């Protein structure tokens, strides 16, 4: 794994780290279930920060925001609760 990272530029490494951090928040079921507003705000904050720093293109920023909005809508609809109930019953 280390040999692969030496082939990346500093900007590429920064982008990979930032996107990984964003996706870790996206997949944070506990935060999503307990506080969907904070979950959504953190995704948007990270997306905007990546844009501000020039880490992502405008299209990538837009796609991250759309994905954050869709995840938020699923969260407030209770998708994780439905999934949890389904898995515990079957």
Domain borders along the chain are: 57-90
Do the Cβ atoms of 56 and 64 come closer than 8 Å?
yes
**With 90 as the cut, is the pLDDT of residue 5 above it?**
no
Q: What's the average model confidence in pLDDT over 15-27?
A: 98
Yes or no: say if 73 and 32 are a contact pair by the CB < 8 Å rule.
Answer: no
- pLDDT score for 72: 97
pTM of the complete model: 0.82
Closest to 46 (Cα-Cα) out of 58, 64, 73, 31: 64
Q: What are the pLDDT digits (tens) for 31-78?
A: 999 999 999 999 999 999 999 999 999 999 999 999 999 999 999 999
Query: Is the torsion defined by CA of 57, 50, 47, 4 positive or negative?
Result: positive
Banded pLDDT at 79 (limits 50, 70, 90): confident
């Amino acid at each position: 794994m280390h040999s692969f990272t030496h082939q990346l530029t500093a900007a590429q490494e920064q982008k990979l780290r930032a996107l990984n951090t964003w996706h870790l928040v996206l997949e944070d079921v506990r935060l999503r279930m307990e506080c969907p507003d904070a979950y959504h705000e953190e995704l948007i904050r990270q997306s905007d920060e990546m844009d501000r720093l020039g880490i992502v293109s405008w299209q990538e920023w837009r796609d991250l925001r759309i994905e954050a909005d869709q995840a938020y809508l699923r969260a407030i609809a209770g998708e994780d609760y439905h999934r949890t109930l389904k898995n515990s019953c079957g």
